[in-house]
Structure 1
């Protein structure tokens, strides 16, 4: 839907795969690209390290009215025991999703799991847990993944609906809480 962006993406996937490499074609966009890998942090310090990291991210993005988060492994619950694990940086706890979406539109990537009940049930679960207006864009071909769109305005909702219709043949569709 955006030929300039599409061309840019094709070029950067060869060698410069980073969010910052997108900034030249996303006018006015900013990013918070501080590494969230806590594996080098002592296990007993990881909880505080993650909290401080997220506060810095929130400060950096405080003026944004639309944010995108791409945790490698998606959304997880807020269980405290997770925060001490080395791989916690690849996940985004529910509380961080809610905070990031507060007062603005947030798009959160989620790599679907093998949760009991299947992917539709998993998406319904997270839409219910987040507790803000929103829906999901599901891409079910190949590796199932979901983009949660929280607090969208009418324009964003219309554009995403158009996008899903355009890509329906490639198994992209809108998912509303059911």
Structure 2
């Protein structure tokens, strides 16, 4: 997650999902903060805010808050009021200042602190820029590894509780459906996948959902289908 993304369509959908799932739960948000980049136009998908007649009804308090965020301060901190009471861990994942040989340990230490912060949470959300990758050790020393969440961290966050993991769909061979199926198999725990195709393709993996979480997920998909949100089958 980068500050410059705050309030875009991706935030509207993911925060809407969290607000649907989190009542009567202790939510922890691990932001996977990464420094703002300027090489692309990510974060510019805010046109939905000009269509209040279509989208505000989905979650009026959320819609109105994000409209204010975009108009005033686009930052992770500015999003916190709409997840009131959540544990927020926003320490940067950026290890590029370290020698590549030290980055693996730096990331391991970061993850230990994230897990400690979310100890008492029974619902955890992880928000990496680019989503899930495998545990190939070669990638862990790269400067941009902070934009990903490896499977080992997915499983650690979901251990003994429900976790929601953001994934930005890629050009993986076989298409997005096959990509979602691949990660569902790799996660190795009961999981749902919520796909959201508006503006850009993204998937939210909901791991270890209980019956209430399943029900709320289905209701969310039905309510938000105008933004091409649906449950992967």
**TM-score normalised by the chain length of structure 1:** 0.93
Q: Secondary structure at the match of 2:166?
A: strand
Give, in angstroms, the shift of residue 105 of structure 1: 1.0
Q: List alignment gaps of at least 5 residues for structure 2.
A: 1-57
| 2:88 pairs with 1:28 | no
| 2:173 pairs with 1:106 | no
Q: 1:40-62: per-residue Cα shift (whole Å, max 9, x none)?
A: 11111000000000000000111
Partner of 2:222: 165
| 2:122 pairs with 1:65 | yes
Matched-pair contact (CA < 8 Å) for 1:23–1:30:
no
Q: Which whole-Å CA distance do the structure 1 matches of 2:68 and 2:161 have between them?
A: 31
Q: 1:103-138: per-residue Cα shift (whole Å, max 9, x none)?
A: 111111100011111100000000110011111110
Q: Which whole-Å CA distance do the structure 2 matches of 1:87 and 1:97 have between them?
A: 18
Q: Which whole-Å CA distance do the structure 2 matches of 1:143 and 1:28 have between them?
A: 30
Partner of 2:95: 38
| 2:85 pairs with 1:6 | no
Give, in angstroms, the shift of residue 152 of structure 1: 1.3
> CA 1:16 to 1:64, structure 2 compared with 1: closer, same or farther past 3 Å?
farther
Q: Secondary structure at the match of 1:31?
A: strand
Q: How many residues align?
A: 176
Q: Which whole-Å CA distance do the structure 2 matches of 1:29 and 1:116 have between them?
A: 37
> CA 1:142 to 1:2, structure 2 compared with 1: closer, same or farther past 3 Å?
closer
- Equivalent residues in 2 for 1:77-156 (5 A)? 77-156=134-213
Give, in angstroms, the shift of residue 4 of structure 1: 1.8
Q: Which whole-Å CA distance do the structure 2 matches of 1:77 and 1:15 have between them?
A: 38
Q: 1:58-106: per-residue Cα shift (whole Å, max 9, x none)?
A: 0011111111111001100000001000000000000000100111111
**TM-score normalised by the chain length of structure 2:** 0.72
Matched-pair contact (CA < 8 Å) for 1:135–1:149:
yes
Give, in angstroms, the shift of residue 155 of structure 1: 1.8
Partner of 2:47: none
Q: Which whole-Å CA distance do the structure 2 matches of 1:95 and 1:121 have between them?
A: 21
Give, in angstroms, the shift of residue 167 of structure 1: 2.2
**Structure of higher RCO (CA pairs closer than 8 Å, 6+ residues apart):** 2
Tell me the C-alpha RMSD between the 2 structures. 1.4
